[in-house]
A and B are shown apart, each in its own frame.
Chain A
Amino acid sequence: MFEQYQCDGLFDEMFVDGNTPRAHYASVANRLAAMGSEAFSRRVRMADMTFRNQGITFTVYSDTRGVEKIFPFDLIPRIIPADEWNLIERGLTQRITALNLFCQDIYHDQRILKEGIIPPELIYGAKMFRREMFHVNVPKNIYIHICGTDLIRGKDGKYYVLEDNGRTPSGVSYVLENRSVMKRVFPALFSAYRVRAIEDYPHNLMQTLKFVAPPHAQDNPTIAILTPGIYNSAYFEHSFLARQMGIELVEGRDLIVENSFVYMRTTAGLRRVDVIYRRLDDDFLDPLCFRPDSCLGVAGLMNAYRMGNVALVNAVGTGVADDKAIYPFVPDMIKFYMGQEAIIPNVPTYICAREADRKYTLDNLDKLVVKATNESGGYGMLMGHQSTKAEQDKFAEMIKADPRGFIAQPVVELSQHPSLIGDAFEGRRVDLRPYILYGEKPIVMPGGLTRVALRRGSLVVNSSQGGGSKDTWVLEEEDGEAAPSPLPAGTEMLVTT
């Protein structure tokens, strides 16, 4: 099945070259080679069926029919050895700490502006900078309680941070479900490795939420997840997390603010809510404070929040930290607040708001990736090397009209990983989104969402753009250099068919 496999000069996660697997992939490679594509396809169908019957789906907005889709699941696991993970874990812990210090600073003393580290106009020009949060004290000074940071690997095999998602990152439910399906479909292969468990994520998330409960809730806060509703693309995840934590899943219309406290409408009347894990953008939270046309939020919520009567997770205004024009300054933040060098580097970024960067960007549109600073999900992007002249001209106009709205980065040749395409394995580009919780202390979930660009040659991995996902195995620290135990061929057959 790997006979035709090509590394194409890219960094391949699984192979050193066309036919030599990396040591930590040896068991997987042997097993797959012995299995054949038909048996493998059977497992793919089995997994797809499981996802559908369990209702593990997401909603695509542009589709008129069949709005619910299965997130394509790519059965070959992505494996990360312990030493690599060590670096990632330290890097992400450092990063979420710096981002939280930054949010606290930017909404209070603004030392980082006063000392000239970040130009103030970039902050004040950020769409997600919330003046409403100025001098508001948030519980325990935590702003970003949950962060999903996108990592990529370049041709050199080094990890880079592509972006931080510090607002309402999604995908963690797929990480947990992918793992549970994987264990079901490939039990023997899974147990041949010592994979670090991720199943305590909901528990850790619950602790993170409890940690910021207002004092009046004492030991028994009422915690709810606020969802935009069942038509939201991430609804499955909202419902999944509510279920895993045993907390309420509420919509805006279930909540009401009275005397600056938040209540939910129950069959027995109103009940106070103390912590809200909101999966709703700032803009929609409170029609009295932000968008007046929002029907998804709760009138008066911001007031209750500012009075400290309810905790919001993540805090309002964290979008300023994951603005794409602020992103280039994260290494500076790390140095400024923590006196450290960034452990995981950024991708070099040109900020179009700066004249020299803008000129460079406009001159090299055919070589750069241009991104709108306030978009996510792979929307509002120009992939320079794959674009037409007309598209480049359109972006040039847009950049000139709104320089603050764009950044540019060199094309990073993402690492690739084998995926089953038809009946053979082909390389497809991948990234990695680990999830970091920040409560009493930062916790990095050992694993994450490996997203795959399933279209050949594509560098865009977002699920809204035809991406799939893989289970991600972070291996336990080995004593010595012991490789995973070899798996006798045929074992898998006995277990599952």
Chain B
Amino acid sequence: MSQLASSTATFNLNAPSRPMLARDADSMYWMSRYVERAEHIARILLVNSNVLTDVGDLTPHLQQRQWQSILTIFRLADLEPADSKGDVSVATQIVKYMTFDEKNPNSLLNCIARARENARSIRENISTEMWENLNTLYWSMSEDAPARFEDSPDTFYRAIMTGSMLFQGLTDQTLAHDQRWHFTQLAKYLERIDITSRVIETKFTILRSAEAMLEAPIRNIHWMAVLRSCCSIEAYRKAYSGDMDPLRVASFLILRRDFPRSIRYAVSKAHDAIAAIRRDVNPGAIDSAERVLGRLDAQLEYAEMSEILIEGLPAYLQKLQASIDVAAVEVQKAYFLH
């Protein structure tokens, strides 16, 4: 009995977590960002195809803008117009480009390949469940993937989204919530903030310019599509009913406190993650990324939609993206480049 007591006393269950290689932290971060990005790409492509089926009678010009806005969201240059012949082919062209094109750094194929490549280089830092999930997702993008895509783009994109979310769930449930996990969270939420804000900004600009021409039902469909692109339609409907008011949609996506897809929620989680990492690594001081995210967090905490509108929504979102970029660069400097 006494032997048992003395031997258990030597276990220090609160020992600080083991330091993490800077390169591993870097890969952990990018693995997580690419998985999150893949999910958004799949969802946005899926939603865009569906919405354009729903509102078949859009002007060709507006249709084209809708498709090109996807490139804008992912910071890609417009495709060479020489390649496009008519409206249908712009759609097909962009869908192909965003799904399977090896030359597009932000195609689904490349995002998943890079996520997996990063995971492979830190295989010993992640769980077997996470690895096998991501590796299987990667292999599902090769072989007969184009054929399965032709059969049903819908099923194809949904499988990617499910795979990505499964990965997030496995990350939560199979990895110790130490520094490694915090890096995945930081990356995931930074990516989510970036894409969500760009979706709102881009769509808001397009729809504003076309609003005069759109009748209420069609307008509703478009704003529902924005919510769908951000995986938020059901949560929004639970909060509000009736027409899709553009400003209400925007304020839901930006300021909602308790919804994981809102910018405010994501900023607050990213702030938590960076603070946890910093406490682990350097308990004494606040680092630059934490400062940027902390300020943003506080600002969103007390923000009012009316104030945002005075500044102008696009301008506000651009400023927010700039802060996120600064935070990402500071994370890199502080933790990856030792």
Contact = CB atoms under 8 A, between A and B. Distances in A.
B315 to A, nearest CB: 35
A344 B287 CA distance: 63
B338 interface: yes
Contacts of B124: 239, 242-243, 248-249
Interface in A360-403: none
Interface in B116-136: 117, 120-121, 123-124, 128, 131-132, 135-136
Contacts of A265: 21-23, 338
Given A53-B139, A55-B131, A250-B21, A268 B123 contact: no
Interface in B169-225: 179
Nearest to A230: B121
B281 interface: yes
B20 interface: yes
B100 to A, nearest CB: 16
A4 interface: no
A253 interface: yes
Nearest to B119: A55
B31 interface: no
A254 interface: yes
B117 A266 contact: no
B178 to A, nearest CB: 11
A266 B277 CA distance: 12
B84 interface: no
B332 to A, nearest CB: 11
Contacts, number: 65
A487 to B, nearest CB: 31
A239 B139 contact: no
B280 interface: yes
A212 B185 CA distance: 39
Contacts of B123: 55, 239-240, 243
A36 B249 CA distance: 63
Contacts of A270: 338
Interface string B140-157: 000000000000000000
Given A55-B120, A55-B123, A253-B23, A267 B281 contact: yes
A54 B280 CA distance: 32
Interface string A244-286: 0000111101100000000011111111000000000000000
A158 interface: no
B282 interface: yes
Contacts of A268: 19-20, 280-282
Contact of B135 (A53, A243, A250, A267): A53
Given A52-B139, A54-B132, A267 B121 contact: no
A239 B118 CA distance: 13
Nearest to B121: A230
A251 B23 contact: yes
B335 interface: yes
A268 B335 CA distance: 7
A99 B21 CA distance: 36
Nearest to A244: B124
Given A242-B124, A243-B124, A267 B19 contact: yes
A267 B332 CA distance: 10
B41 interface: no
Nearest to A246: B124
B266 interface: no
A296 to B, nearest CB: 14
A254 B21 contact: yes
B25 interface: yes
Contacts of B19: 266-268, 271
30 contacts: A52-B135, A52-B139, A53-B132, A53-B136, A53-B139, A54-B128, A54-B131, A54-B132, A54-B135, A55-B131, A55-B132, A55-B135, A230-B120, A239-B123, A242-B124, A243-B124, A248-B124, A254-B23, A264-B21, A265-B21, A266-B19, A266-B20, A266-B338, A267-B19, A267-B20, A267-B22, A267-B179, A268-B280, A268-B281, A271-B19
Interface of A: 52-55, 229-230, 235, 239-240, 242-243, 248-251, 253-254, 264-271
